[in-house]
Amino acid sequence: MFVLLLGVFTLLCSSEGKLVFSRTEATSIACYNCERFHLGFCYDGMKTCYLKYQQRCAIENIYVLTPKGETKYFYSKLSCMYNCDDINFLDYEKKTELICCKHSNYCNIPTGN
């Protein structure tokens, strides 16, 4: 028992005899999280998510296609997303633009909509 306590005490002490408590603090990037964001307003309540390993802040801009082939901005989805890459998706009725970032806190706010 004494050997076990001595081992634990040795692990907690540095070479100068001071107690050392190691704690890992991850400095995470905060992102907006909203299912339906339009014209500066979140319709389901703005939340915050924090980036985890291999995540980036994401903005999914949803556009509707008109019969003339034009795109009209509809709304955005804001989130933390795994393996996020900037890309555009085109469907028969809508276009989705995915924009990813992690350079600063809350970088996933749509601009110019």
State the pTM of this model: 0.71
Among residues of the chain, what percentage have pLDDT more than 70? Answer: 74
Instruction: Convert the pLDDT of each residue in 63-93 to its tens digit.
Output: 999 999 899 999 999 999 999 999 999 998 9
Task: Return mean pLDDT, the chain.
Answer: 80
Phi first, then psi: give them for residue 32, nearest 5 degrees. -75, 150
Q: How many CA atoms lie within 13 A of 6 on its CB side?
A: 3
Task: Read off the pLDDT band of 26 (50, 70, 90).
Answer: low
